[in-house]
């Protein structure tokens, strides 16, 4: 198993889908802008599915990330997301995962608290929620380690 992360500046997104650098299935990280807004504008034209990398913090908490993932998943094919955070990325990912289920959620952890929260409609297809922990991306008991890094590109493999 492997996950690829392609780091794209907002200015590069409009042409990424037709560029020679395009990588089908890659996870997209947009460090200088809101990835959900930009991918909603440009991503539906790309053959998918893709992943999206999100940075969680107090200004962009897990509940808002889950809302944006759900909305984006109705516009373009998404099969995975990776949650990054300065701390408690696993806790943010737990909240996102719960909110993508379509069920009513009550959950409290270090990243936040949800009481009878819903995020409907659920994404049209299941989305794997990973989190970044140092040089590993983790989902449940599965971890993928960073095996290659280049300019604007990272590869994680088991």
Cα 22-27-29 angle, rounded to 5 deg: 95
- Alpha helix (H) ranges present in the chain? 13-16, 35-42, 62-73, 89-99
Rounded CA-CA distance 132/156 in Å is 10
CA-CA-CA-CA torsion sign (130, 46, 44, 32): positive
Confidence class of residue 47 from pLDDT cuts 50, 70 and 90?
confident
φ/ψ region of 112 (left if φ > 0, alpha if ψ in -120 to 50, else beta) reads: left
Mean pLDDT taken over the chain: 95
Q: Which domain holds residue 68?
A: 2-157
Task: Dump pLDDT digits (tens) for 80-129.
Answer: 999 999 999 999 999 999 999 999 999 999 999 999 999 999 999 999 99
Asked if residue 71 lies in contact with residue 43, where contact means CB atoms within 8 angstroms, the answer is no
Which pTM does this prediction carry? 0.95
| Beta partners for residue 32, in sequence order | none
The number of CA neighbours under 13 Å toward the Cβ of 37 is 6
Crossing angle (nearest 10°) for helices 35-42 and 62-73: 0
Rounded CA-CA distance 60/1 in Å is 29
pLDDT of residue 103: 93
pLDDT of residue 48: 81
Examine the pLDDT at 146 and tell me if it is beyond 90: yes
Confidence class of residue 15 from pLDDT cuts 50, 70 and 90?
very high
Q: Mean pLDDT throughout 3-23?
A: 93
Number of independent structural domains in the chain: 1
User: What's CA 14's distance to the chain center, in Å?
Assistant: 19
pLDDT of residue 130: 98
Which letter does DSSP use for residue 19 in this model? S
């Amino acid at each position: 198993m492997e996950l690829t992360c392609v780091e794209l500046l907002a200015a590069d997104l409009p042409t990424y889908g037709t560029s020679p650098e395009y990588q089908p299935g890659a996870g997209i990280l947009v460090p200088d802008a809101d990835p959900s807004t930009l991918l909603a504008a440009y991503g539906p034209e790309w053959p998918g599915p893709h992943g999206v990398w999100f940075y969680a913090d107090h200004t962009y908490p897990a509940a808002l990330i889950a809302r944006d993932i759900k909305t984006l998943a109705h516009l373009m094919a998404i099969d995975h997301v990776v949650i990054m955070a300065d701390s408690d990325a696993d806790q943010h990912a737990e909240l996102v995962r719960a909110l993508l289920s379509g069920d009513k959620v009550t959950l409290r952890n270090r990243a936040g608290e949800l009481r009878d929260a819903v995020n409907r409609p659920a994404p049209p297809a299941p989305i794997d929620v990973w989190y970044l922990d140092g040089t590993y991306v983790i989902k449940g008991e599965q971890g993928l380690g960073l095996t290659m890094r280049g300019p604007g590109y990272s590869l994680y493999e088991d």
